[in-house]
Homo-oligomer: A and B are copies of this chain.
Amino acid sequence: MSLKTLEKSLQVLEFFTSEKPKWKLRELARELEINHSIVYRILSTFERSGYIYQNKDSKEYELGLKFLEFSRIMDDNLKITELLEPIMSELTNQSEESVVFTILDDFYGLYFKITESHQNVRFAESIGRRSPLYIGASHRTILAFLPVEVQEEVYQMGKESGHPATSDHQSFFDKLQVIRDQGWLFSSGETFPDVSAVSVPIFDSQHRVIASLSIAGPSYRLTESAATEKIDLLFESKYKVQRFSSKLSFPVKRPEMLATESH
């Protein structure tokens, strides 16, 4: 069905995170609970192709330049960004806040494109950041329009990680219902402290949710009432995006349930 060697190798890459970007060989092997010679072969193969870089003094391994290269190729390829850019820039100008486009990626949301207000905190460095769907307006707005089984799964993920948003099952699902009813969501300080955002879902031509569009800003300025005033602008942009999104394909990975226990 799939290539086990490749699969395992890619799992190894997942351990190179922002929190732990550098690994010594045996340290990583212990963490993975596999023989260090296997890890060695994987890392050195990656290294030969530039996906992994090894500091020859400290012997530590880290991510290689290949990812920079491929990320540029992606940008070139995604004409989406060209079409998104003017719409988002306009919304930034009108709303005087930063605008964030979050894309659905399995059980996660990924900050795909950000246009920054000049009077704002720096968000742009978050591009490419992936976090679970239970957290933040931009993410929960997407979750609200996914199948209930996925919502349950995501809720469980949050529960297991101990995240406060998933402390009460009833209120979590009630809030998702609110998003579906009013078509948007405002939230404060969920993803970043002192940052608030208001989000709307983006659908493809088959009315499946694929992303969300958000206005984000510092909580002291972007209060709930300030955000509410900007909702009309946000909806205008949403429709503009949806108009062209029907013609383009976003690299969206829809979540798949491995096993459905109920009938």
Contact = CB atoms under 8 A, between A and B. Distances in A.
Interface of A: 2-3, 5-7, 9-10, 13, 16-18, 21-22, 41-42, 44-46, 48-51, 53, 55, 57-58, 62-65, 67-77, 103, 105-106, 110, 112, 125-130, 249, 251-253
A7 B45 contact: yes
B106 A253 contact: no
Summarize A's interface: helix, strand, loop or mixed.
mixed
Given A77-B62, A249-B58, A9 B3 contact: yes
Given A21-B77, A68-B128, A72-B126, 17 more contacts: A2-B41, A6-B46, A7-B45, A7-B48, A10-B45, A10-B46, A10-B49, A18-B77, A63-B73, A67-B70, A67-B74, A68-B112, A69-B128, A69-B130, A70-B128, A71-B71, A72-B129
Given A249-B55, A249-B58, A128 B71 contact: yes
